[in-house]
């Protein structure tokens, strides 16, 4: 019995040996873009698409994206059914959508992140909308979350 425990303990120690994982940390670095370096056309596109998504909650009409605006993944994930489900919850808790206020623009190696404070009619509403634009100037992700004064570098 003692031999079996000893062997199991040794196997456990050998099995739990840590491995070194190398990562390219340049892809993970996020830096804030100064106002002078912001691409105004890209910013306008991010604002318009973000507003279009959130205004769907007010009008119940969604104009589908096309391949010149968003990536295929975003197009497939942004369906009228999904938006309706989200909008029901948002309207109940936050009221009607008013507008987006740009808080900052951040850059990774592959994407530009536009961070907006989403304004709603109810005072309890404190939401954020992040629009991710890839190197092909296509919206690669749209993410809604609770507002936090500091930008959280964890983007996923």
Q: What is the per-residue pLDDT across 97-126, written as a single tens digit (0 to 9) for each? A: 999 999 999 998 899 999 999 999 998 889
Cβ atoms 112, 132 nearer than 8 A: yes
Residue 43: which of 141, 114, 95, 142 has the closest Cα? Answer: 114
Residue 75: which of 85, 87, 59, 63 has the closest Cα? Answer: 63
Kindly report the backbone phi and psi dihedral angles of residue 105, in degrees, each rounded to the nearest multiple of 5, phi listed first.
Answer: -125, 130
In a domain, 117, yes or no: yes
Interatomic CA distance for residues 108 and 31, integer angstroms: 7
In a domain, 116, yes or no: yes
In a domain, 109, yes or no: yes
Provide the whole-model pTM: 0.77
Residue 134: which of 142, 145, 126, 146 has the closest Cα? Answer: 142
In a domain, 103, yes or no: yes
**41 is in which domain, residue-wise?**
37-146
In a domain, 24, yes or no: no
In a domain, 154, yes or no: no
Length of the chain, in residues: 156
Q: How many domains does the chain have?
A: 1
Interatomic CA distance for residues 1 and 109, integer angstroms: 56
Q: What is the per-residue pLDDT across 129-154, written as a single tens digit (0 to 9) for each? A: 999 999 999 999 999 999 888 776 55
CATH of the domain at 79: 3.10.450
Q: What is the per-residue pLDDT across 16-73, written as a single tens digit (0 to 9) for each? A: 555 554 444 455 578 888 887 888 899 999 999 999 999 988 888 888 888 999 999 9
In a domain, 11, yes or no: no
In a domain, 105, yes or no: yes
């Amino acid at each position: 019995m003692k031999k079996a425990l000893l062997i199991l303990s040794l196997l456990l120690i050998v099995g739990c040996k840590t491995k070194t994982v190398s990562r390219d940390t340049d892809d993970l670095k996020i830096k804030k873009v100064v106002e002078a370096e912001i691409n105004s056309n890209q910013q306008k596109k991010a604002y318009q698409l973000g507003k279009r998504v959130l205004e769907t909650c007010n009008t119940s009409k969604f104009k589908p994206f096309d391949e010149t605006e968003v990536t295929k993944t975003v197009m497939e994930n942004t369906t009228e059914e999904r938006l309706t489900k989200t909008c029901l919850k948002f309207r109940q808790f936050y009221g009607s959508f008013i507008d987006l206020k740009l808080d900052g623009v951040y850059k990774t190696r592959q994407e530009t992140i536009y961070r907006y404070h989403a304004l709603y009619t109810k005072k309890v509403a404190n939401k954020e909308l992040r629009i991710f634009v890839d190197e092909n100037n296509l919206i690669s992700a749209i993410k809604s979350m609770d507002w936090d004064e500091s930008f959280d570098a964890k983007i996923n």
